[in-house]
Amino acid sequence: MKTLLWIQGLTCNGNTHSLLNAENPSFYDIFSKIKLLFHPAISSDEDLIKIIKDITQNKISLTFLVVEGSITKNKSFCRVGDFSIAEIIDQLKDKAEFIIAVGNCASFGNIPALYKENTNVVGLQYIFTEKKGLLPPNFKTKSGYPVINISGCPIHPAWFMQTILALYYEKPLILDAFNRPKEIYMYLPHDGCIRNEYFEWKEESEEFGHKEGCLFYNLGCKGPLTHAPCNKILWNRTSSKTRAGMPCLGCTEFNFPLRENYFETKKNIGIPEEVPLGVSKRAYITISGVAKSLRNERVKKKLEETD
Amino acid sequence: MVKIQKTILSRVEGEIELKLIWEKGIIKDAFIIAPNFRGFEFILEGKPILDSLIITPRVCGICGHAHLMATVNALENLYKNAGYNIEISKKANLIRLITLSAEIVQNHLRWFYLFVFPDLLKLETYTEDLSEYIPIKGKQWQKAIDFSSKIVKVIAIFGGQWPHTSYSIPGGVVCDPTTFDITESISIVDSMIKYYEENIIGMKYENYLSIEDYKEFIEKSDKDLSKFLKLCFKHNLHKIGKAYNRFLTVSNIYPIFSQGATKRKKYNFNIKKLEEIDTYSFLTKKGIDFNGKKYSWAKAVRYEGFPYETGPLARRINNKDKLFLNLLADLKDTYIPRIWARIDEIIKLLLAMKKWLQEIDIKEPSYIKPKKNIKELEGIAYGLCEAARGSLIHKLEVKEGKIKKYDIITPSTWNLGPRCEKYLSPAEKAIIGLDNSLIAEMVLRSFDVCSVCTTH
């Protein structure tokens, strides 16, 4: 039976709790297929330190090593018993078939990496956009894959579940430039956003609290320039930030916590500093001008008042 | 002979170590050690003010929504302190209460089935069939996962997702719900109430709420809560885990939570009477210090110099709830009342949610833009919030459009922080005198341990 070990570094537990929300498969469904060796929030009788020892002595085979949370070698700031999280990963890295970083912290350091007193907070293979994490840039696990990053603050449970299941069924996994599963991160939150009609016709929201209007131009939405399928695979299988009226924060991206002023769009002479992916600034200005000059009466009205 | 025993606790949120000092088979002293520190308060320094709405929820993946609400309250308090009246519609206020309650319900269900119940499986050496509660495989364990995931769909309806939305901002909320969003939320709450009645209390909620004598409930019900309580009595758990009998609640949510500090009598809560003590904390006013007697990243927090317990039991006592006043009179502030209060709170929150959902007038504005730009404000402000585990306090200081200082006191800091010179923390006190390390762990879990919040 394939096995899974879940360990945590500097974390908020948000990825664990997001994962407990999983549907198709649910948290308990997946662990009828795969043996859960240990999870700090779930396990009852198992002793993590003994399991680690058994893995290093080849008494237990480890298929999936899952890491949640940022990594540090500094035991004063993060400790699992007498070990640092970095020491545990070091012991297990060559034993696991696959290493999976869940969430932005394990992928690239994230918010804890901004703390100045502890200078060596990193992700497993990255620190923000640089490949200077705990493990070397060319590191690969026994299966031949590098650390597979499932970015997001937090992850959507389906992103994790479908990645694990694809590997379980021995399907090939295409990874993107940041070693994320391409089939998840090839979409943008913009794809499937229910505000797309407003984006097309450049009907920009001026303030929060309305169903109508696009959040991109004024309110900081990163939907057109973030890799995540938030409007394809809905959150809690119900909605998404942009559907509810909140700007996308770009929380799956490697520079997420380096950004500032999330609720406003930075502009130069009326042009957003960052334009939608794949579009030049010139193309964006041209199409905006055309869209605004060709009026769509529908997007000017409250939805309840449209024909 | 003195024996020192260190245990890494699983089935808690994050990393916590329990260090026990044994003498002649009795726990003479107990140290609750939070070994991990991320530095959120320092990371927030120098950030644009509104970015706190994005960063603070990420302190905690379980009660991040409460952190969002504490931040919003602090930012709105900042307007007030600077002399600007900030207007919030009734609708926005109701939506905030609804989503906050959904998160608390989620937390209590997961805590009870994932963290607490497995302890009883260890105590009960299979004379009774408890297979329904076995982690991952057990039917009741699985249902707790299903329904705790279902209630947070209400947060997704109004806030887009759970965990980690920042949909509430100074002036209101960003969503503009339709009637159908509200009716779907009511349906979710209704299914939760039915689940609670059929699985947890084993009776109609009206009957449960009319009970004032705890023995009567245990006799009448044969479902999970009653089963749990019967096992507790069987294993003599009604005598363990006594803390200080002092209870703190920092904010009002009518009609279920009422602010106050109770020590025999109830007094008004006054934020000025609160202090943080760093004698045993690595984190001090002068910087980080790892010297000998310091043992945790958490600071001790005291009210009028005393440790107070916060959380659902404190809320029941401060709300003068008859069942819990009776429980306290008989069993004191021990393991059973502390656990029951968390489960009891679920139905009170669900019923309030249903009422609030029906009161929403979708024609009201969701958001009323504050007249003054927040970047022009300066000063100090507090944000108070009742989170799943109890009283959450955010204090912020802003200058020149940026956060100058941010201070977070979490419920876990109250309950599980270190000692000060005079007093142990409530959880440390509750463990001393026990003669069994599993029972010591169970007492600790009764406070609903969240180490990620304890230290942040």
Q: Where are the domains of chain A?
A: 3-186, 187-299
**Residue ranges of chain A with per-residue pLDDT less than 50:** none
Residues in chain A: 307
First to last CA, chain A: 58
Within this chain, domains A3-186 and A187-299 share the same CATH topology? no
* Shortest CA gap B52–chain A (Å): 10
Mean per-residue pLDDT for B420-425?
97
pLDDT the model gives residue A236: 98
Residue B430 has pLDDT above 80, yes or no: yes
Topology (CATH) of A187-299: Cytochrome-c3 Hydrogenase; Chain A, domain 2 (4.10.480)
pLDDT the model gives residue B88: 97
**What are the residue boundaries of the structural domains of chain B, listed by start?**
2-455
For residues B377 and B197, is the Cβ–Cβ distance under 8 A?
no
- A193 marked ligand binding residue: yes
Mean per-residue pLDDT for B411-415?
96
CB contact under 8 Å between B160 and A242, yes or no, is yes
CB contact under 8 Å between A209 and B53, yes or no, is no
Residue B451 confidence class, pLDDT cut points 50, 70, 90: confident
Q: What kind and span of H or E run contains A283?
A: helix A281-293
Tokens for A274?
């960052």
- CA pair distance A144, A148, nearest whole angstrom: 11
Whole-number mean pLDDT of chain B?
A: 96
For residue B98, give the nearest of B271, B355, B403 by alpha carbon. Answer: B355
CB contact under 8 Å between B38 and A115, yes or no, is yes
Residue B1 has pLDDT above 80, yes or no: no
- CA pair distance A8, A11, nearest whole angstrom: 7
CB contact under 8 Å between B61 and A118, yes or no, is no
Residue B128 has pLDDT above 80, yes or no: no
Tokens for B25?
């088979």
- A78 marked ligand binding residue: no
Q: How many helices (H) and strands (E) does chain B have?
A: 18, 16
% of chain B surpassing 70 pLDDT: 100
Distances (CA, A) of B126 to A45, A170, B101, B390: 15, 40, 36, 34
pTM (2 decimals)?
0.98
* A118 vs B contacts (CB less than 8 Å): 37, 39
- CA pair distance A249, B428, nearest whole angstrom: 40
* Nearby residues of B178 by Cβ (< 8 Å), 6 or more positions away: A211, B362
CB-defined contacts A:B, below 8 A: 218
pLDDT the model gives residue B126: 66
pLDDT the model gives residue B322: 97
Residue B9 confidence class, pLDDT cut points 50, 70, 90: confident
Of A78, A236, A260, which has the smallest distance from its Cβ to B161's Cβ?
A236
* Shortest CA gap B41–chain A (Å): 9
- CA pair distance A241, A258, nearest whole angstrom: 20
For residue B414, give the nearest of B285, B298, B253 by alpha carbon. Answer: B298
pLDDT the model gives residue B439: 96
pLDDT in tens, B226-263: 999 999 999 999 999 999 999 999 999 999 999 999 99
Mean per-residue pLDDT for B417-430?
97
Long-range contacts, stretch A268-276, CB < 8 angstroms, 24+ apart: A272/A216, A272/A217, A274/A222, A274/A225, A275/A224, A275/A225, A276/A190, A276/A216, A276/A224, A276/A225
Mean per-residue pLDDT for B375-385?
97
CB contact under 8 Å between B148 and A20, yes or no, is yes
Residue B127 has pLDDT above 80, yes or no: no
- CA pair distance A82, A115, nearest whole angstrom: 23
* A237 vs B contacts (CB less than 8 Å): 153
For residues A67 and A106, is the Cβ–Cβ distance under 8 A?
yes
Q: What kind and span of H or E run contains A200?
A: helix A196-200
For residues B342 and B415, is the Cβ–Cβ distance under 8 A?
no
* Shortest CA gap A286–chain B (Å): 30
Topology (CATH) of A3-186: Rossmann fold (3.40.50)
Please state which of the ranges B14-18, B89-93, B126-130 shows the lowest mean pLDDT: B126-130
CB contact under 8 Å between A12 and B452, yes or no, is yes
pLDDT in tens, B154-170: 999 999 999 999 999 99
% of chain B surpassing 90 pLDDT: 93
- Among B5, B13, B15, B165, which would you mutate to test the A interface (most chain A Cβ atoms within 10 Å of its Cβ)? B15
Q: What kind and span of H or E run contains B315?
A: helix B312-318
CB contact under 8 Å between B50 and A261, yes or no, is yes
* Shortest CA gap B5–chain A (Å): 12
Class of domain B2-455: mainly alpha
pLDDT the model gives residue A44: 84
- CA pair distance B296, A179, nearest whole angstrom: 37
Mean per-residue pLDDT for B381-405?
97
